[in-house]
Structure 1
């Protein structure tokens, strides 16, 4: 396999997420972020993917890290995949949205475009919280006119054969599907054919 582009002039795609992007429970090279670098290389694209995802990260944790991440990596594009842990902990949706707003604003100030990666939580959190949480990503994307991946786990969530025993984290076999979900939105943002 070819090495990732090392040129300092290569545009950087920063993936800023939680365990779903950090590759929890699977070899890091099997995760969708590593597969993204491979797909870009296979298509002859110069982009360098930097994975700044941390398992267990919430939007408040991400907010505390984003300024340093964009300063040190100088990305042209940031894929923000945060919020799942806020939802699992039942944190206020308004707080999550405020944190994501500030993360997006930090990216904009650094001249980096943002793609927002949406998440959904199961209905056992109650209809009001679930609907508010699930709709918050579309609201943010519309407010900021951002591309949105509606649901990272589309086609994977709820499928026991594609998830680890905890029922939350996708297996290695599911990572290509996660990448496909992201690619549908990323490819047009990079102005390449899906």
Structure 2
């Protein structure tokens, strides 16, 4: 009888201990933040360690150690190019948050606005369908492209965010793009000294999604 009671108690006890061991493992599962961008996020003209993405990664290592930051940015990337790469990135990293910093190269090359809007929407929609919270960072282009094209370009980011349910972030180059001392000689890419300013502009919007 004593042996029977011992076995009866041991079963639930072992099951309970197993649950206690598994709960921390589930809670410790690593999450990921995917940055899908162009040269602004690929640290063009400097080492990757100096870029705003790597600076964010260093901050998150302390504030959100359960997150891995994946920088899938490529200099010269367009929304169409990123759209071709995105399904594989989503499948591989299964991100909880996706930051889309794209569109500048589309504008500089004079690509059709309709294509820009469609691609931005699909980038956000695909990410959302994969279970990620999405942040779209708007971009600006020089006024010499004409007032109509410039206006439609600017409006595309808000419209894509609205249609896809993504969050629209602030302009990452705010206070930087118009300061020649913070821009590289090409007038398009920010210097290493400006990277912390870029992160300051968008940090809060990213944190709200983590």
Return the TM-score normalized by structure 1: 0.90
How far is 1:163 from its partner?
A: 0.8
1:22 and 2:61 equivalent? no
The unaligned stretches of length 5 or more in structure 1 are: 1-7
**How is 1:77-96 mapped onto 2 (pairs within 5 angstroms)?**
77-96=97-116
The one of 180, 190, 195 aligned to 1:160: 180
Name the stretch that deviates more: 106-115 or 11-20: 106-115
How far is 1:44 from its partner?
A: 4.8
How far is 1:30 from its partner?
A: 0.5
Partner of 2:165: 145
Is the CA contact (8 Å cut-off) linking 2:117 and 2:159 kept in structure 1?
no
Partner of 1:116: 136
Q: Number of residue pairs matched?
A: 183
1:188 and 2:184 equivalent? no
Aligned with 1:161: secondary structure? helix
Larger radius of gyration: 2
| Distance in structure 2 (CA, Å) of the matches to 1:141 and 1:45 | 28
How far is 1:141 from its partner?
A: 1.6
How far is 1:85 from its partner?
A: 0.1
**How is 1:5-154 mapped onto 2 (pairs within 5 angstroms)?**
9-154=29-174
Is the CA contact (8 Å cut-off) linking 2:125 and 2:164 kept in structure 1?
no
How far is 1:21 from its partner?
A: 0.3
RMSD, aligned CA: 1.3
Name the stretch that deviates more: 12-21 or 35-44: 35-44
Q: Which has the higher helix share?
A: 2
| Distance in structure 2 (CA, Å) of the matches to 1:107 and 1:20 | 21
Name the stretch that deviates more: 180-189 or 159-168: 180-189
Name the stretch that deviates more: 143-152 or 15-24: 143-152
Is the CA contact (8 Å cut-off) linking 2:170 and 2:202 kept in structure 1?
no
| Distance in structure 2 (CA, Å) of the matches to 1:70 and 1:134 | 27
Is the CA contact (8 Å cut-off) linking 1:158 and 1:167 kept in structure 2?
no
Return the TM-score normalized by structure 2: 0.83
Is the CA contact (8 Å cut-off) linking 1:149 and 1:181 kept in structure 2?
no
How far is 1:46 from its partner?
A: 2.2
Is the CA contact (8 Å cut-off) linking 1:118 and 1:137 kept in structure 2?
yes
Is the CA contact (8 Å cut-off) linking 1:10 and 1:48 kept in structure 2?
yes
